[in-house]
Structure 1
Amino acid sequence: MRTKLAIKIHAFLERRFPERRVFLKSDSDTRFIRLRPETQLVAFAGASALVAWTIVATAILLMDSIGSGNFREQARRDQATYQDRLNALSEERNARAEEALAAQERFNAALAQVSAMQSELLTSEIRRNELETGIEVIQTTLRTAMKEREAARATLAQMQLEAESDDAQKLASAAPAQMDLIADALSRTAAERDQIIADAQSALEARDTLELEISLMREQNEQIFRQLEEAMVISVEPLDKMFRSAGMPTDRIIEQVRRGYSGVGGPLTPLSFSTRGEEISPDEIRANRLLQQMDQLNLYRIAAQKAPFASPVRAAVRYTSGFGTRRDPKTGGRRMHNGSDFAGAHGTDIYATADGVVSHAGWQSGFGRLVKIKHEFGIETLYAHNSKIRVKVGQRVSRGDHIADMGSTGRSTGTHLHYEVRVNGRPTNPMTYIKAARDVF
């Protein structure tokens, strides 16, 4: 039994969808199909849903087609912009490489000049010591000559007093030979006195000449000292700035290198010590300070060889991807990129960026053919996607050694080098080290 609500709904549907009949006539019979309001409503709703779905699907397809066209166009524009930027970076990198080579030549020239100046300094120091010794000998000779001259004068005065005190009769009765002996003695004494005076004058002139030479030598030493000190400043400051730009504490780094090389040479010894118990001169103190600065410079150079302050490739390459989050080339999603990518020709030589020991040389999932090198200061470098590996595990390599050939092994879309720098196991931007050494090497 239908309820009042059902009756009202049926009446409402009757007004909107009156009952209809569809007749089906054959040769011998006629039949009809009865279409109730409810049936017509269901059919109308289904048809409406079908039409609506068709409209929505068509709109979605049109919007997706339009959006895809815009996205491809935007992607082409982005790719063109990115290519221009990469070309500009490549030109800048080549220019920086040329500047680095020029800086290296200037550094080597300064170092050669420092070595030559050091040799001149040591030679001049030895010459100065010899001149000081000669002056002391001349002064001693001069003092001896003065004493002998005074003694001769005293002897002459004594003889004159004795001659005056003698009785005139004794002088008159003295033999001529005795008078001749006294005259000869007086003549010899006068000649010795004149010779001593001449020797003293020559010694004074020689002393003046030596003092002039010492003065000129001191001026030359001052100039050498000044040039050496300027050379030390020019050589040490760029190295110190390079380490600090890379975020490496120079005090700790230098101390670690000094401990590692403590068996070579030992502590610095001053240039010379006085055998008379005197304190060393200001020039010797200054020279010792320069030697300490040169030792500091040598420690900086050793430390620089052990840190990755170099580019792993020297041929013409493109910098295709940097350190940080990027769009994954395989999936298109945002992923962290822990290194820098350099795209180049297949087989391009790859070089070690610092001294170290090979800890891995083989296949690793995702990286393909991979080379890992452990360096000092907790640093490790990775060279991935190689076509060929040219080192073995445990092999000790130096900066600039050929370790692999560029390829596209592992998870890669094309020939390139994936280069990583890890400090205590944590990835760090490799360009920090490469840019820090741009004006030094």
Structure 2
Amino acid sequence: MLARVSYRINAAVERYLPEQRLFLKSDTDTRFIRLRPLTQAIALSAATLFVAWTILATAILMMDNIGAGSSREQTQRQQAVYEQRLNAMSDDRDRRAEETLRAQERFNLALRQVAQMQGRLLASEDRRRELETGVDVIQKTLRRTIKERDEARATMASLTLADAQTGASARGAEGKAKDTEATLSYLTDALGAAAKERDAMAGTAEQADLRLSEMEADKRAMQRRTDEIFTKLEEALTVSVEPLDKMFRQAGLSPDDLLSTVRKGYSGQGGPLAPLTLSTSGLSGSPEETRANALLSGLDRMNMYRIAAFKAPFSMPVNTPVRYTSGFGGRNDPFGRGHRNHEGQDLAGAYGAPILATADGVITYAGWESGYGRLVKIKHAFGLETRYGHMSQIRVSVGDRVSRGDRIGDMGNSGRSTGTHLHYEIRVDGNAINPMTFIKAARDVF
């Protein structure tokens, strides 16, 4: 039966592929190999399939190379844009810092000027009080002198009357009259001098009041300029701090606890900004001092936020194009094991794509773990931990210190996985949280 079918097939194919014979001649005999039409058809088909497979594989490789080149160019463009944004933010931050320093210098100069004016004002007030006291003394002296003059006049009148009644000698009466006139003349001169001094002191007091009014007007103008400076500084500080505060709250971190942790471990140059204290008499607890301390506290908070942002994993674990395949939370198990909880974010990409550390930290695990495949764990500040699973290759060891952006491995398909991807986790004090919260929060600031 098989021979009959083979014969019919050879007969049908022989019209296109006639039977061929391959002769092999030696010194003693000659042999040949018969190539039937069916054998030729099978060989020709196999050769055609091999050539087609070669062409298809070459085309796929060329498309992959072209796609990889486009991805690299896109990645380089994105990295250049990201660096430009970072440079722009750095320049803006430096400008704001310079403006803050200049405003603080202007504020300190204004405080010194206010202190000097208040010192002059206090000295003028003391002088005015002294003048008022002198005028009161002169007025009392004048009243006492007028009273003594009136008493002397009364005494002279009584003495004149007594002399007339007793018939005293004219010479004695004339001497007493001259003494009385001399006394009156002395008192009159003293009263005139006292009146002139009183008028001079009154003029000095009036000038002091005028100078006091001018100084108070200058003080009010200085206060308005100081208020404008404080208002601009407070607005700039609010614009800078609110996005950072929002970013940490969206990431599920308590800003107060975060800042407290940063302050405890802060050991770099600069240090927290100390509250402003003025030693000038009368300025302790003034509104200007209160507002200045509030601004310094805000600057300290912004500086602590900046340190915390660079220590927390606010960045992408890959710098190549990826697709978000499976998110955080409940999902149907890809291996058909029912509804399960997924404690990370899956990012599908090219096999061997670089996996990057998302923040500074220490490698606590680098090896194979059931379910994760090749896994790397990094311990960060503030009780944070990141995990990178299903790698094809691990490039770090336990105990290594890494910085944000350092390559720690390659994307792969190891462990319990259905395809090439990265399983990325973030844990706070051992509890898994949604990594997209950190990634989206970072996009609002960085």
TM-score (norm 1): 0.59
Query: Aligned partner of 1:255: which letter?
Result: D
Distance 1:204 1:83, change over 3 A: same
| Match in the other structure for 1:380 | 386
| Match in the other structure for 2:130 | 144
Are residue 205 (structure 1) and residue 207 (structure 2) matched? no
| Match in the other structure for 2:427 | 423
Query: Within 5 A, what are the aligned runs for 1:190-339?
Result: 190-246=195-251, 248-249=252-253, 252-259=254-261, 261=263, 271=277, 280-310=285-315, 318-320=320-322, 322=324, 324=326
Distance 1:387 1:417, change over 3 A: farther
Provide the rounded CA distance (Å) in 2 between the counterparts of 1:84 and 1:388: 24
Provide the rounded CA distance (Å) in 2 between the counterparts of 1:410 and 1:379: 22
Provide the rounded CA distance (Å) in 2 between the counterparts of 1:386 and 1:286: 55
Pick aligned residue for 2:103 from 102, 113, 117: 117
Q: 1:422, CA displacement in angstroms? A: 2.3
Deviations 1:214-270 (A, max 9, x none): 111111111111111101211012212323444x24xx2432431552587899867
Provide the rounded CA distance (Å) in 2 between the counterparts of 1:234 and 1:385: 44
- Residues 254 and 300 of structure 1 are in contact (CA less than 8 Å); yes or no, is this contact kept in structure 2? no
Query: Aligned partner of 1:113: which letter?
Result: E
Query: Aligned partner of 2:378: which letter?
Result: K
Query: Aligned partner of 1:258: which letter?
Result: S
Provide the rounded CA distance (Å) in 2 between the counterparts of 1:166 and 1:385: 124
Provide the rounded CA distance (Å) in 2 between the counterparts of 1:233 and 1:241: 12
- Residues 385 and 410 of structure 1 are in contact (CA less than 8 Å); yes or no, is this contact kept in structure 2? yes
Query: Aligned partner of 1:300: which letter?
Result: Y
Sequence identity percentage? 23
Q: Which 10-residue stretch deviates more, 95-104 or 258-267?
A: 258-267
| Match in the other structure for 2:152 | 166
Provide the rounded CA distance (Å) in 2 between the counterparts of 1:302 and 1:171: 100
Query: Within 5 A, what are the aligned runs for 1:4-19?
Result: none
Provide the rounded CA distance (Å) in 2 between the counterparts of 1:260 and 1:343: 38
- Residues 323 and 348 of structure 2 are in contact (CA less than 8 Å); yes or no, is this contact kept in structure 1? yes
Query: Aligned partner of 2:259: which letter?
Result: V
Deviations 1:313-342 (A, max 9, x none): 8xxx632555638xxxxxxx99x9956578
| Match in the other structure for 2:140 | 154
Deviations 1:95-148 (A, max 9, x none): 344234323322332233234323433443354344334323322321221121
Provide the rounded CA distance (Å) in 1 between the counterparts of 2:119 and 2:406: 59
SS at match of 1:166: helix
Deviations 1:288-320 (A, max 9, x none): 44344334323322321221224568xxx6325
Are residue 128 (structure 1) and residue 130 (structure 2) matched? no
- Residues 378 and 385 of structure 2 are in contact (CA less than 8 Å); yes or no, is this contact kept in structure 1? no
Distance 1:212 1:393, change over 3 A: same
Deviations 1:137-177 (A, max 9, x none): 32232122112112212312321332233235788322887
Are residue 95 (structure 1) and residue 81 (structure 2) matched? yes
| Match in the other structure for 2:18 | none
- Residues 258 and 382 of structure 2 are in contact (CA less than 8 Å); yes or no, is this contact kept in structure 1? no
Distance 1:312 1:212, change over 3 A: farther
Provide the rounded CA distance (Å) in 1 between the counterparts of 2:385 and 2:408: 22
Query: Aligned partner of 1:319: which letter?
Result: P
TM-score (norm 2): 0.59
Query: Aligned partner of 2:304: which letter?
Result: L
- Residues 131 and 205 of structure 2 are in contact (CA less than 8 Å); yes or no, is this contact kept in structure 1? yes
Higher RCO (CA < 8 A, seq sep 6+)? 1
Distance 1:345 1:99, change over 3 A: farther
- Residues 351 and 403 of structure 1 are in contact (CA less than 8 Å); yes or no, is this contact kept in structure 2? yes
Provide the rounded CA distance (Å) in 2 between the counterparts of 1:436 and 1:142: 64
Pick aligned residue for 2:359 from 349, 354, 366: 354
Provide the rounded CA distance (Å) in 1 between the counterparts of 2:187 and 2:304: 79
Provide the rounded CA distance (Å) in 1 between the counterparts of 2:361 and 2:246: 23
Provide the rounded CA distance (Å) in 2 between the counterparts of 1:170 and 1:381: 123
Provide the rounded CA distance (Å) in 2 between the counterparts of 1:385 and 1:371: 15
Distance 1:268 1:432, change over 3 A: same
- Residues 345 and 435 of structure 2 are in contact (CA less than 8 Å); yes or no, is this contact kept in structure 1? no
